[in-house]
Structure 1
Amino acid sequence: MQKNSYSGKARWKEQGIRPDYRFSLANERTFLAWIRTALALLAGAVGLEQLVNHTGSGSHWHSLSLILAAGAAFLSVMGWLRWRENEIAMRNERDLNYSNVLLTLSCYLLGIVLFVMFLIFR
């Protein structure tokens, strides 16, 4: 593995050694999975908002659209931060950190499911 001495890039990209490209690509695929999840939440928010506008449903559905869109924004930022953190750890030959975002995401989705069930069965 070679030292990375590219100029004009962020400082963290110049630290440590360049990781094996397979690990960098795996890290990138994980980032893309986070982005796909964020896009799915955003698509759900847009679709729900369009449905609510055409049917004249209550404001609770508008709230759910906003919650989905906020979740999409959160996941897109967290996906990039996690990718960057993993890339830095690989460059400096450190262990990858466990992310509490996974627990947060699971609780967030559980909350959405419970909210939708409440709206459907009320």
Structure 2
Amino acid sequence: MPRTVPTGGCAMMRGMGAYDEGGEPDPRYTLANERTFLAWVRTALAVMAGAVALHSLEVPEPAWLRQTMVVVLVLLGGGTTALAYRRWSLVERAMRTGRPLPRFGLGAVMTGAVLVAAVLLAVTLALG
């Protein structure tokens, strides 16, 4: 069966991964998926801003712990952005092809990482 070229707003995006499969979903769902992706990007930026704050304020002591936390938070922010893009793509494909939505693992990863960072920071501040 030949594929028809959509006439909607995503017609220009054909050939860019998630838009290559299936039909055009309700625009409200696509826009909600994009807003969710952008919310994860904002979360990643906030985590990286926290890393910059730790580095700039030179908190906590000792320096090796601070540097470790800064590096981990920066990597977590970058990884969150990459995983958010991947999730956006999987959800977009699922909506376009009528498949079930993918599982939500990014929230668990982020929750665990922020919890570990919070405990480390609380312990070092209490002991310092």
User: Which of the five TM-score ranges fits, normalised by the shorter chain?
Assistant: 0.7 to 0.9
Match of 2:120 among 97, 115, 118: 115
Aligned AA (1:106): T
Per-residue CA deviations over 1:57-83 (Å, capped at 9, x if unaligned) read 522111111111011011000000000
- Please report the TM-score for the alignment, with normalisation by the length of structure 2: 0.83
CA distance in structure 2 between the aligned counterparts of 1:40 and 1:106, rounded to whole angstroms: 14
Corresponding position of 2:77: 72
Q: State the shift of 1:14 in Å.
A: 2.5
Deviations 1:44-103 (A, max 9, x none): 1112111229x9852211111111101101100000000000000000011111122211
| Residues 18/56 of structure 1: CA separation in 2 closer, same or farther (3 Å cut) | same
The code of the aligned residue for 1:115 comes to L
Counterpart selection for 1:27 from 33, 39, 42: 33
Aligned to 1:10: 16
Instruction: Give the alignment partner of residue 93 of structure 2, picking from 79, 88, 92.
Output: 88
CA contact (8 A) 2:61 2:124 kept: no
Cα shift at 1:12:
4.1
Find the residue that maps to 2:58 and give its secondary structure: helix
Question: Where do 5+ consecutive residues of structure 1 fail to align?
Answer: none
Deviates more, 1:37-46 or 1:56-65: 56-65
The share of aligned pairs that are identical, in percent, is 29
* Residues 45 and 65, structure 1, Cα contact 8 Å, conserved in 2: yes
Distance 1:11 1:62, change over 3 A: closer
Structure 2: runs of 5+ lacking an equivalent: none
Change in Cα spacing, 1:43 to 1:82, as seen in structure 2 (3 Å) is same
Task: Report the CA distance shift for 1:100/1:56 in structure 2 as closer, same or farther (over 3 A).
Answer: closer
